[in-house]
Amino acid sequence: MNAINLANKFSLFDEHWSPKIIGELNDSHVKLAKLQGEFIWHHHDDEDELFLVVKGRLLMKFRDKDEWVNEGEFIIVPKSVEHKPVAEEEVHLVLIEPKTTTNTGSEKDSERSKEAEWL
């Protein structure tokens, strides 16, 4: 039970689209990620995801609309909803999602599909 300094943790990595686990909460992981550019369209069959923007501005694309998520705001993407995160400039996120969640969900993208590692 130690306080976690987000700025310090974000300073420990530079890669984009590669979430890092910083904690566990019940059956979920708390992760940090840096995003820049566009990700792939995907969904998660069984997992909801929470995206909390710590720095920057995230565009979350859905098939029927786009939603901007500003610094200090979060969005919850329900399971089975296809989405595509876009970061025109670098975005720092806190993610809260079940431990079973992979970053590419339904899509098997070998370049971007990575097991999250502990930071």
Q: What is the pLDDT of residues 12-44, one digit of tens each?
A: 999 999 999 999 999 999 999 999 999 999 999
Q: Over 70: is that where the pLDDT of 107 sits? A: no
Tell me the mean pLDDT in the region 79-89.
Answer: 96
Q: Where are the domains of the chain?
A: 6-118
Q: What is the pLDDT of residues 48-78, one digit of tens each?
A: 999 999 999 999 999 999 999 999 999 999 9
What are the residues whose beta carbons fall under 8 Å from the beta carbon of 88, sequence distance 6 or more? 57, 59
CB contact at 8 A, 80 and 43? yes
* 6-118 CATH, one of 2.40.50.1040, 2.60.120.10, 3.90.1150.10, 3.30.1330.90: 2.60.120.10
Tell me, yes or no, if the pTM score tops 0.85.
Answer: yes
Q: Over 60: is that where the pLDDT of 110 sits? A: no
